[in-house]
Amino acid sequence: MQGAVLLLAGAIAATPPTDPSPISVLEDLVTGPLSGRPLVVYLDETLGFSTSQLIRSAFHSVPLVLADLRIQGKEWCERQTQEVLGAGWLVHLALLSSNATVFFEDLATAECNWQPLYLLLVNTRGGSPDVLMEEAFSRVEHLALLSVQDRASNSSLSTFIYSFFPFSHQAPIRLTGVWSTSTSLQHLFVDRFSSFEGYQFQIASWVDDYPYLYLTSGETDDLLQVRELQTGEASGLQVEVLDTLGYTLNFTYTMMTRPEDWLWGELQDGAWTGMLGKVHRGEKNFTVNFFGYNLEKTRAFDASSPYWMEGYGLTLLAPPPLPKWRAAYYPFNVFVWGCCVAAFLLVVIGWTLQVRNQDHSAPLSPS
């Protein structure tokens, strides 16, 4: 990506600049953990003209896309490429003020597949870190917040790093560190999903998908009723994968026998049906059945990397062997036989013409 810059014009109110500490933090970010990475910067122009100019100067040497948080998120999203909305090599950096989350709330409902891999929020006015719990940020894998606050011990300003752990039973918002010039990208964006802390996932399933997912008892009559399955009632490749992941990442799960509408999941009249419909409406967390890809599904759902490929073949009964008398001409196709016939005719015509020429050129004997 080249250094494309999108400037969104608008009236800018002149207000006094805020504390210079956030500006110095931004400069350290650009030269430190974010060095060499293109950025998507969400800037709230209500911070004031002086502050906006200082912030822009901090990014003067960085390829970036600049967005104004005062406009509607849907309007901005529809004008961007898929790389800007979710490329893994981009870091999204949002400079927040008091009402900046309205932009991201509108962005989340726009259904334009905004899903950054890295999102760093910078709270320039030292607000509450509860902003991390906004639904708009729920699909971001690496999420962090920098907040400039007073140290309780000596009342000096320090920049604290917070992150949100959605599966934590206690204290989902945690202080993960204190910012310094030596902070690395790994310390800035800590792993939020190293453990699911015993969370129980609700899985939309259809246990009639052999060999991936099926009933251990093998009784097809059990599929007629919709119910939650007990541990050990389902078997298959998907169950083995879930059990292994659950043991490693500390989670449990429940499954159901089948969807109520007997459908796997398609987009019909603007709504998703079947198992995918339950996931899309938030009734279930995810599904593990064997699904094919299409454009609509990839836009509406996240999918794991493919771990099973299935192909189809056509099998026919082998024909009986050919009679031996056909061995003389069977190896040659029609083109070869046509060439043979053409060559034979040319030879016959050539001989005929030669014989006629000899007859006309022979001297007449005296009578």
* Each residue's pLDDT tens digit, 108-151: 787 778 889 999 998 866 678 888 998 889 889 999 999 887 65
DSSP state of 228: B
Give the pLDDT of residue 152.
56
Are 319 and 298 in contact by the 8 Å Cβ rule? The answer is: no
Class for the domain spanning 21-188: alpha beta
Tens of pLDDT, residues 62-99: 788 888 888 888 889 888 888 888 888 999 999 887 66
pLDDT of residue 126: 65
- The CATH number of the structural domain formed by 199-300 is 3.40.190.10
Domain boundaries, the chain: 21-188, 199-300
Residue 196, pLDDT score? 93
* Regions in the chain scoring below 50 on pLDDT: 1-20
pTM of the entire structure? 0.70
pLDDT the model gives residue 249: 94
Distances (CA, A) of 266 to 173, 215, 261, 276, 309: 37, 24, 12, 7, 21
pLDDT of residue 156: 61
Rounded CA gap, 203 and 206, in Å?
Answer: 10
137 vs 121: CA distance, rounded Å: 10
